[in-house]
């Protein structure tokens, strides 16, 4: 299993960052480059514990669908989603939030396994890991960009 660990420090309160991270409408805006759309399950607003969402997006030149479910949530400290259906053999994304002197440290722990055995492992190592890391970095940059202006100096 491949693991991506990212940390993003955001000059905003923890509740704002937590809510942006689970906001389906914001997610669609932040992933406009891949034309990501919520097409089934929870398709708008804040996703909650036990809810599912099915996404349709163009990744690597192909339209794909991915259904995820929120399996853990402790507002505003963390939530975890897992893949129920999609292109991966498995996928788990932990979103962790920590308050640090009026700012929020947002931690992503994204674990995935590709299908196709050894071929999938090679694709992970040489391509997919970097592609997904960059996808998450861009999304986190947009969360930071939206969250920070709401803080008065």
Q: Which domain CATH number covers 89?
A: 3.30.530.20
Domain interval for residue 80 = 2-150
- Compute the distance between CA of residue 135 and CA of residue 112 in angstroms, rounded to an integer: 14
Rounded to the nearest angstrom, the gap between the alpha carbon of residue 108 and the centroid of all alpha carbons in its chain is 8
Q: Which of 57-66, 94-103, 130-139 has the lowest mean pLDDT?
A: 57-66
Q: What is the pTM of this model?
A: 0.91
Q: How many domains does the chain have?
A: 1
129 vs 5, residue with greater confidence:
5
Classified as helix, coil or strand, 121 is helix
Compute the average pLDDT of residues 62-86. Answer: 96
pLDDT value of position 151 = 44
Q: What angle do CA 101, 111, 14 make, to 5 degrees?
A: 20
Integer Cα distance of 37 and 56 in angstroms: 5
Distance between CA 65 and CA 16 in Å, rounded?
A: 28
Phi, psi of 17 (to 5 degrees): -65, -45
Confidence of residue 153 (pLDDT cuts 50, 70, 90): very low
Distance CA 124, CA 44 (A): 31
């Amino acid at each position: 299993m491949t693991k991506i660990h990212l940390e993003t420090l955001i000059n905003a309160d923890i509740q704002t960052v937590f809510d942006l991270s689970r906001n389906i409408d914001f997610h669609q805006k932040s992933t406009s480059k891949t034309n990501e759309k919520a097409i089934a399950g929870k398709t708008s607003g804040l996703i909650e514990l036990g809810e599912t969402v099915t996404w349709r997006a163009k990744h690597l030149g192909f339209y794909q669908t991915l259904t995820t479910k929120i399996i853990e949530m402790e507002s505003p400290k963390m939530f975890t989603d897992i893949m129920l259906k999609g292109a991966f053999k498995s996928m788990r994304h932990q979103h962790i939030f920590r308050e640090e002197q009026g700012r929020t440290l947002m931690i992503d722990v994204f674990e995935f396994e590709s299908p196709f055995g050894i071929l999938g492992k090679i694709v992970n190592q040489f391509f997919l890991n970097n592609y997904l890391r960059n996808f998450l970095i861009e999304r986190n940059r947009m969360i930071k960009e939206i969250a920070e202006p709401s803080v008065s100096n």
